[in-house]
Amino acid sequence: MADALFPGANELEGRAIRQISALAMDAPAAAKSGHSGTAMALAPLGVMLFSRILRHDPTDALWSDRDRFILSCGHASMLQYGLANAFGYDVQLADLRAFRQPHSRTPGHPENGVTQTVEVTTGPLGQGIANGVGMAIAERILRSDYGAELVDHRVWVVAGDGCLEEGISHEAASLAGSLGLDRLTVFYDDNHVTIDGPTELAMHDDPAQRFAAYGWHVINLGEQANDVDALERAAREAIAETQRPTLVIVRTHIGFPSPEMMDRREAHGSPFSASAISEAKALLGVPDEPFCVDPEMPHEMVEALSVRRDQRIAWEARVTAAGAKGARLLTQLDTNGAAIVDSGPEHYEPDAKVATRKAMQRAMDWLAPQTSGLTAGSADLTDNTGVVLSHSQAQGVANPGGRQIYYGVREFAMGAILVGQALHGGFRPAGSTFFVFSDYMRPAIRLAALSHAGALFVFTHDSVGVGEDGPTHQPVEHLMALRAMPRLHVVRPSDANETLDLVAEFLSAKQPPTTALVLSRQDMRVFNARDAAASAEGARRGGYVVREHDAARFTLVGTGSEVAHCLEACDQLAAEGVVTRVVAMPCWACFDGQPHEYRTAVLRRSVPSVALEAGATLGWTKYVDEAIGIDSFGMSAPGDYVFDYFNINSSTLVTHVHDVLGAST
């Protein structure tokens, strides 16, 4: 018998759609917060994808050759949780009841690593689209390297009006079209409703023409959001497209089938009233009681997906039969392509003058051939930032295995695409730009840290040493802004050889932290042999003593290029009979993770101390008595002049030490 509400749905699919729609009302009502309407409207699409299209197996949720499903409009999280429960994933009735409650597996927006089927952390709109671009790039490279018999999956994204309004979707979609990522499909939930009201309040562009101009294949389904067969035909048309990514536009009605709430802006972010829920459930033909879940449905769904399970088993057999190649694939996936460092780099000579951004290029030349999971690129600054992979080609249709990615002037999308690559598995991507433009990337960096994505954000031109470009390009507050972000390792190496070591640490770690590597434009003095030994022993701990003396009367602390000024001041003061010690702090987060005894020995707070850093001083008092830095915007002038103008030099430290010791005397 045909389903009157959801044409084309079989009996089991119809039950699942109705159950998910009911849960989308029940859970926000119980939590007294949440988004019901979008999840209800998208239930037919979600069930169709999980039932008929996605390559997945609930009995092995992390099967590496599964299709990736991304809910970019993460406020509709109950759709994903309802799907996971209905299709036999480890989301139980108790989890659904705990929606938005403390420590539950069903948080307000999907979080990677918390709930099965959630591939990336979404919520801030639009980033899921860019994450999907990153995952499609990762799949393409792996398929090129290992063959379609071992890697053969797709990326499916569901996005809403807000996702398409956010600027990141423009950046990401433009790049995806340029790269011809045919394994990427985005379903656009065109419901014409935002929190403020109709989308027409602020949006009159034509998404179909927009995406066609980007080079996408566009399918406009119109008023067929509830027709399961029509949705399937669109998905299969997307699969048949082998040259371009696909956008499927679906005109949905938020809150369907609620007579009271459908097409109203209140359906977006307000729980439904009890009467509205009862009325909608009557139309759905489900019991009018909260959280009425069919306990047999997950078992029936798993059984109905037996063909997908057979696909997974056949894939495992092919990997085994592939011998060494299959073993390499599994190792790359297990280690996220970690570097196997079997040869050392050519180190820079002591006392040479080398910008740490130049050391980044040497690190790439040294480590790229030894790192199976490395991709690298830049937001149109590749030569400036030192992320050229000389052993690889540019990623694109002509070179599907290319690991050099030209992101164009798209910093925000680049950041989120790195997250997608990292969370896909098998990769540890690096993306680069000038440090001042980390402002454009901050939302993506934040979600990278929140989701434990092992991405390397390479930032060069780290201070007022940028010089004549002036204050628009001179980062001063950026170090502190990023250091305030939980789980993010902000790393500012002390010299070129330390840069080589810290890049090697990131690329060789099995689970690298989300890392912002901050490098200099200006040349810096390379450590002498004694100081280099201290760096080799302590830099990976985030902070270390470069020069120690039991009789030291003062501690000089620096990061990046300012460590050299600390060493010069140490020498000058020693010539005057004032004994000091020098501490380098390349990574605060790493240092804070060290044992208390180690941190205490490094800082020796019983001795007066001062920090020197070419940036904002906020936060330094956690480690030192006083800080010398730059608490204003920079200026347009040669870099050396600007450093001296803001007193970022050794003579300032010498004067400060004399002033403090003189006052104490």
Convert the pLDDT of each residue in 141-180 to its tens digit.
999 999 999 999 999 999 999 999 999 999 999 999 999 9
Residue 272 included in any domain: yes
6-49 pLDDT per residue, tens: 999 999 999 999 999 999 999 999 999 999 999 999 999 999 99
391-424 residue pLDDT tens: 899 999 999 999 999 999 999 999 999 999 999 9
Query: Are 519 and 548 part of one and the same domain?
Result: no
The overall longest dimension of the chain from CA atoms, in Å, is: 96
Q: Which of these three, 525, 541, 572, is where a domain ends?
A: 525
Together in a domain, 154 and 108 = yes
In which domain, by residue range, is 495 found? 353-525
Structure token digits, residue 427 = 């990769």
Do 158 and 46 meet the contact criterion of CB atoms below 8 Å apart?
Answer: yes
Give the mean pLDDT of 261-265.
95
506, 543: one domain: no
Residue 125: how many other CB atoms lie within 10 Å: 21
List the CATH number of the domain containing 631. 3.40.50.920
Residue 139 included in any domain: yes
Amino acid at 37: G
pLDDT for 391: 87
- Does residue 249 have a pLDDT over 60? yes
520 and 564 in a common domain: no
Residue pair 420/127 in contact (Cβ under 8 Å)? The answer is no
Here the CATH number for the domain that contains residue 64 is 3.40.50.970
pLDDT of 608-645, one tens digit each? 999 999 999 999 999 999 999 999 999 999 999 999 99
Cα–Cα nearest to 435, from 397, 386, 385: 385
End residue of a domain, out of 241, 276, 308? 308
Looking at the structure, do residues 289 and 407 belong to the same domain, yes or no? no
DSSP 514: P
> Are 427 and 560 contained in the same domain?
no
Same domain assignment for residues 184 and 36: yes
Tell me if 112 is assigned to some domain: yes
pLDDT, tens digit (0-9, with 9 covering 90-100), for 454-487 = 999 999 999 999 999 999 999 999 999 999 999 9
Residue 115: how many CA atoms within 13 Å on its side-chain side?
34
Distance in angstroms (rounded) separating the CA atoms of residues 593 and 386: 29
Looking up tokens 């904002």 gives 616
Has residue 23 been placed in a domain?
Answer: yes
Residue 313: the pLDDT is 98
Q: What is the spatial distance between Cα 499 and Cα 506, in angstroms, rounded to a whole number? A: 11
Whether the pLDDT of residue 531 is over 80: the answer is yes
Quick check: is 200 in a domain? yes
* Dihedral of the alpha carbons of 68, 74, 76, 81, in degrees to the nearest 10: 50
* Distance between CA atoms of residues 365 and 617, nearest Å: 35
Query: For the segment 554-569, what is each residue's pLDDT rounded down to a tens digit?
Result: 999 999 999 999 999 9
For residue 196, what is the DSSP state?
S
Q: Coil, helix or strand for 626?
A: strand
Three-state DSSP at 538 gives helix
Assess whether 506 and 545 both reside in one domain.
no
Residue 591 pLDDT greater than 60, yes or no = yes
Q: Do 537 and 494 belong to one domain?
A: no
User: For residue 250, is pLDDT > 80?
Assistant: yes
Q: How far apart are the first and last CA of the chain?
A: 95
Q: Give a yes or no: residue 614 inside a domain.
A: yes
Q: CB neighbours (10 Å) of residue 267?
A: 25
Reported as a pLDDT band with limits 50, 70 and 90, residue 1 is low
Looking at the structure, do residues 570 and 591 belong to the same domain, yes or no? yes
* 513 shares its domain with 614: no
For the chain, give the mean pLDDT: 97
Q: How many domains does the chain have?
A: 3
Is residue 574 domain-shared with residue 486, that is, in the same domain? no
- Domain endpoint, select from 274, 308, 342: 308
Which of 644, 649, 578, 586 has the alpha carbon at shortest distance from 612? 649
As a whole number, mean pLDDT of residues 80-108 equals 98
Examine residue 407 and state whether it is found in any structural domain, yes or no. Answer: yes
Token duo for residue 129 = 């689209």
Question: Which is more confidently placed, 504 or 1?
Answer: 504
Q: How far apart are CA 455 and CA 430, in angstroms?
A: 6
- What is the C-alpha to C-alpha distance for residues 290 and 560, in angstroms, rounded to an integer? 58
Q: Which two tokens stand for residue 201?
A: 């309040």
d(CA 545, CA 583): 4
Q: Is residue 565 part of a domain?
A: yes
CA distance 581 to 579: 7
pLDDT score, position 3: 86
Query: Residues 111, 411, 568, 613: which is the catalytic one?
Result: 411
| Percent of the chain predicted with pLDDT > 90 | 97
Active site residue 303: no
pLDDT of residue 665: 57
- Strands 580-584 and 544-547 come out as antiparallel
**What CA–CA distance (Å, rounded) separates 438 from 411?**
8
By DSSP bridging, strand 515-518 and strand 489-491 are parallel
Interior/surface letters 284-310, b for 16+ CB within 10 angstroms, e for the rest: bebeeebeebbeebbebbbeebeebbe
Q: 128 Cβ partners below 8 Å, 6+ apart?
A: 70, 71, 72, 73, 74, 120, 122, 157, 159, 163
d(CA 348, CA 351): 9
Band (pLDDT 50/70/90 cuts) for residue 277 is: very high
